[in-house]
Amino acid sequence: MTPEQAVQQLNALLDDSMSGIRPPLRYWDGWPRSTEQSATGLYEQSLGYATATRDRYVMTKVVRAKYGALLGVVERSWLAKGYTITAVNPNQPAIFATTPAGAAIAITFGAPGNITFTASVGPIPVIRDRDPFGVPTPEPVMANGNLDVLPRYEDPFWSA
């Protein structure tokens, strides 16, 4: 698949994963990234393809007491679509799944209240001399230079 097709698939996976969440959550999408795949072992070598990944950062404040509700909505939606749950982390809440087509999707909860959906698809061609997705748009950063993914929007349901 082309990088453009990969971005379309990534966006569709992320949109689909959030479509059943009510009330809807506010978010912003990180720039897609390409990761060249390598054979492991004594002599690592390229497998000749890459995977495309995109993060969707939830910008709505979700209180810890609502994490289970959000995870439940997402998990039921994925199972109804035929996704296979591949891992669950109850300690640092996260669910990882694969689609019937082999794409990967995850929802992870971090500190302080960061929630991220991550989708991965492939294969895409390995492109080393430029960003395969075009010229990256600037991402918001905090004063210390770290990526600004701190939720800032209040919601009467999710934030209360």
Task: Report pLDDT for 42.
Answer: 76
Instruction: Tell me if 83 sits within 8 A of 103, measured CB to CB.
Output: no
Q: 131-153, pLDDT tens digit by residue?
A: 899 988 888 898 998 889 899 99
SS3 call for 43 = coil
User: Mean pLDDT lowest for which of 35-44, 86-95, 98-107?
Assistant: 35-44
DSSP 104-146: EEEEEE-TTS-EEEEEEEEEE----SS-TT-SPPPPPB-TTSS
Task: Report pLDDT for 147.
Answer: 87
Task: Report pLDDT for 37.
Answer: 87
Instruction: Tell me if 63 sits within 8 A of 158, measured CB to CB.
Output: yes
Give 41's pLDDT tier (boundaries 50, 70, 90): confident
* pLDDT of 12 strictly over 80: yes
Question: pLDDT averaged over the chain?
Answer: 93
User: Mean pLDDT lowest for which of 19-33, 85-99, 126-140?
Assistant: 126-140
SS3 call for 98 = strand
